[in-house]
Amino acid sequence: MTLATTPAVLNLLKEERPLIDVRAPVEFAQGGLPGAVNLPLMIDDERHQVGIAYKRQGQAAAIALGERLVSGEVKQARIAAWQAYLAEHPDALIYCFRGGLRSQIAQQWLEEAGISRPRVEGGWKAMRQALCERIESAALQPMLVVAGLTGCAKTTLINQLDNGVDLEAFAHHKGSAFGRRPEEPATQINFEHALAKRLISLTEGLVIEDESRQIGSANIPLSFWRALQQAPRVRIEMPLDWRLAQIQQDYIIDLEQAYAARYGAYQGWQLMQAQLSNALIRLGKRLGNARLQRLQRLQALAFNEHAHGNPQAHEAWLAPLLTEYYDPLYRYHLDKQRETTPPEIHVGDWESCLAVARQWNR
């Protein structure tokens, strides 16, 4: 029986073709392809046993063990899961690690059930190579970096642009000690894949926020990072009260809503408090003990006020955190950057920087 294949090309992701990843859950958790659903041929323990058999006894013994482990009702349940997904997504494609045995077995079982679907040639590995190559090639594209003090709504500006690239969204992290989100941070692989997918349709200039190389658990790929360091910049300058309003919206109000949506109002509120409290503690060595204790007292008072309907009370600890820690730190790094990066092409308020970014590279 000849089983159909389709080339591992990035257009599959650009077109948002549904994808069935038949690898084990542990493999998928490390990184899947954007938009893929994990419907494994073998679960983790089964894969582990087959892997041991392969090392000790060879491929034939491993295949025979796999057929015993995934048979009868277990096999029918796996096929039923694929059938159910394909009933809703009839144009879905199948892939495994290299487009080899596991995806071929899935295809064959589906064929026997009367459903024909292609597998991706070269599987996950070939698609990942294409995605990584897209990031490498993007490092050669023109880039504009949006810089500014904490609270200048740089991410909001990026997302106003058709050619904006929101690295924090791909990392599931807002890029600071307080930047954790309710969802798990992206793995390195998933971060790279999300970035590459965004870059597929952006073939000219890219506008990107000024970031540290590490965002949450993910690192910006080195060639891309180096290109960012040499890119022209615009810098947003906004007054403290404006920035505080942005921070309260992003890090307090929106964060509370995100936790409540994921965990419910009560547990979400507890988890949000724990996150913000722990973030302050993580800065303890840099803040110094006396300042940390002062900010912790102010933060505790703010939580109490917030619980009684006054989230604006957080300004009492956010304002000194900005003026005494984040702003001086940013200005120090800005001075260091000026030694190695091109001069800024514009410094101004948020609206003027948005206008410059829109006109840049046209």
209-219 pLDDT, tens digit per residue, is 999 899 988 99
pLDDT at 299: 96
What are the backbone angles phi and psi of residue 231, rounded to the nearest 5°?
-85, 150
Catalytic choice (96, 132, 152, 353): 96
Q: What is the pLDDT of residue 335?
A: 81
Tell me the C-alpha distance between 359 and 362, whole Å.
6
What pTM was estimated for this model as a whole?
Answer: 0.92
99 close to 123: Cβ distance less than 8 angstroms: yes
**In the predicted model, is pLDDT for residue 339 greater than 80?**
no
Model confidence band, residue 54 (pLDDT cutoffs 50, 70, 90) = confident
Q: What is the mean pLDDT of residues 75-103?
A: 95
353 is catalytic: no
Task: Let me know: does 50 contact 66? Beta carbons within 8 Å.
Answer: yes
* Structure confidence by residue, pLDDT tens digits, 101-142: 899 999 999 999 999 999 999 999 999 999 999 999 999 999
Mean pLDDT of 82-94: 97
Residues 6+ apart with CB under 8 A from 194: 34, 169, 170, 186
Question: ∠362-196-181 over CA atoms, to 5°?
Answer: 105
pLDDT at 333 over 90: no
Can you spell out the DSSP letters for 260-271? HHHH-HHHHHHH
| Residue 178 reports pLDDT greater than 90 | no
282 has pLDDT over 80 = yes
Examine the pLDDT at 1 and tell me if it is beyond 70: no
Token pair 């000219």: residue: 204
